[in-house]
Amino acid sequence: MTTDSSSTARLWQATRTYLTRGWAMVGLAAGGVLLALMLLAASMSAEAARSSLPMLLGLPLMGISFFVVHHTKWQFVNPRARLTPYFAQSHLLLLGMLLVLSVLGYPLFVAVVTRQEPLGLIACAALLGGTLMWGTHSARPVWVLIGVAVFFSLALPQLNGLWLEPSPALTGLRALAFAAGWAALGLWLWRLSRMSEEDDDYTIPVQGQMSSGSRAETSEARRYMTQMLGRAVLQTRVTDAWHNRLAGQHATTDAARRRLLRYGLAPVPAGMRYTYLLGMMLAIVVLQVLIVGEPATKQGGGVILQIGFFSFLGPLMSAQLLAMRRVRLAQELLLPLTRESLVRALLGGIVRDSLWMFLLSYAVMTGAAVFLAPELLTLPNALALSCAMLSALPLLVAVASYSGLVRSGMKRMLLMIGVMYLLMGSAGGVFALGYYGRPVEAAAAAAAVLMLGRLAYVAARRQWLNAEFG
């Protein structure tokens, strides 16, 4: 009886490490209410159910994977995880229960409510969860790339038949995906209890820093960044060449000093960061076309719009980097710059990142359209797309700027997810109006979004000018 009680007590203490993450619980509760409403709507129509599955299943699993892996990394990347009796057993038992609930139980529930193929949904969920958790844990982009490809295979109508069609011919493939996903999850649990300080995955991802961070946490973040650069030979060479330029620069003017601040935001220039991000997105598109073949090329417009979705991610990544830099701003206020010049330089970095992402994604979308949907390459469509993407930029910059002041990483993530939906909706609405031959309404909608973005940016800049950095 005593052993059972102590085991229950240890399991409860492990559970409390999740329950005491206040903003995570707020996000879980809000997400649960939203998912319940979406499930209710999806249960009324088979067509609505299929179209809502990416929101009902894909995005929740992506969010859970991100949170759970970062939370457990903070627990297991610590000597106490190996020295404390029963630590690993209690936490791994709880993790196993959470995985069964979120990667098996929840997809089965969604399949029953929406009347979809159960094996297909649980296979998709297992493969998505396994690849994303391994990718987040090991910081290996190839796993994340596979996970994102699985997500889009569920999101696109021309691809989701792989998981949703009631075809006996697909049973073997789905069973293989299910087994592979759960094998990856099992190996991840095993790996957590076997990590040591000599291993390259014995690090806490920088994004896991949910607040301003202690001195030890900041040191761990530097260690993680060092290991990441050590793996990437090409990135390291670009980083060294970029920083070697500093030796020949003489910042004698206010504008030149502001330009120097961009070196403290990230180890590589913005162009390389976002070229790499869009390269991953383009690889996903190519993978889909190679695997699916002709159906993907027939629905080229939907495939191309995936790239537009990624154009919103770059500035939000910059907001994360700016939040990490916030702990150094008390010292940077001592630089020979006024506070206004300092804020102007920092927020100007997000503006540059937004323009980089716009230009790169627009170029890649145009190139993809040449091969997948040449009928879309018309002047009205080009104007509608430009208007839609440019109208969203000021609001994107404003929210990314404000996010840099938010100390809690969980708050930043919830804010960014909400804004992503808002921006996708506003840009999609402007593009749809232009695409269907309503230019006046499209221009009015774009002007309204631009005005909202301008007001939001002024408010965010005012917050930065009045923020306490000491």
Angle between helix 439-466 and 339-372 (nearest 10): 150
8 Å CB contact between 155 and 288:
no
Does the pLDDT at position 445 exceed 80? yes
Give the pLDDT of residue 361. Answer: 80
CA distance 206 to 220: 8
Mapped onto helix, strand or coil, the DSSP state of residue 322 is helix
Q: Which of 269, 397, 287 is nearest to 344 (CA)?
A: 397
Helix intervals (H) in 43-158:
46-53, 59-76, 80-83, 87-99, 106-114, 118-138, 141-155
What is d(CA 50, CA 369) in angstroms, rounded to the nearest whole number?
Answer: 26
Backbone angles phi, psi at 27, to 5 degrees: -65, -40
Are 288 and 305 a contacting pair, CB within 8 Å? no
> Quick one: pLDDT band at residue 5, thresholds 50, 70, 90?
low
- Band (pLDDT 50/70/90 cuts) for residue 227 is low
Classify burial at 293, counting beta carbons within 10 Å of its beta carbon; exposed 0-12, middle 13-18, buried 19 or more.
Answer: exposed
Cβ 130 vs Cβ 189: under 8 Å:
no
Q: Name the phi and psi angles at 43, rounded to 5.
A: -70, -15
Q: Which of 200, 337, 346, 362 is nearest to 281 (CA)?
A: 362
Does residue 295 surpass a pLDDT of 60? no
pLDDT in tens, 355-365: 887 888 888 77
Q: What sections of 232-266 are H helices per DSSP?
A: 233-244, 254-260
Structure token pair of residue 244: 């070697």
Give the pLDDT mean for 160-189. 90
* DSSP tag of 201: T
Other CB atoms closer than 10 Å to residue 458's CB: what's the count? 12
Is residue 219 very low, low, confident or very high in pLDDT (cuts 50, 70, 90)? low
Asked if 449 and 428 touch (Cβ cutoff 8 Å), the reply is: no
Q: Is 7 exposed, middle or buried (0-12, 13-18, 19+ CB in 10 A)?
A: middle
Look at residues 264, 268, 189 and name the one whose alpha carbon lies nearest to residue 228.
268
Higher pLDDT, 82 or 133: 133
Q: Which residues contact 7 (CB under 8 A, 6 or more apart)?
A: 86, 90
Distance, in Å, from the CA atom of 99 to the CA atom of 183, rounded to the nearest integer, reads 12
**Nearest Cα to Cα of residue 351 among 393, 321, 317:** 393
**Secondary structure of residue 381 in the 3-state scheme:** helix
Domain spans in the chain, listed from the N-terminal domain onward: 1-195, 264-470
The radius of gyration of the chain's CA atoms, rounded to the nearest angstrom, is: 23
User: Angle 300-304-309 (CA atoms, 0-180°, nearest 5)?
Assistant: 145
pLDDT at 294: 55
CA distance 83 to 315: 41
In Å, the largest CA–CA distance within the chain is 76
pLDDT of amino acid 93: 92
State how far the alpha carbon of 65 is from the alpha carbons of 98, 147, 295, 316, in Å.
11, 11, 30, 19
Q: What is the pLDDT of residues 375-406, one digit of tens each?
A: 777 888 888 888 888 888 888 889 888 888 88
**What is the reported pLDDT for 407?**
75
Query: Which of these, 95, 103, 93, lies nearest to 72 by C-alpha position?
Result: 95
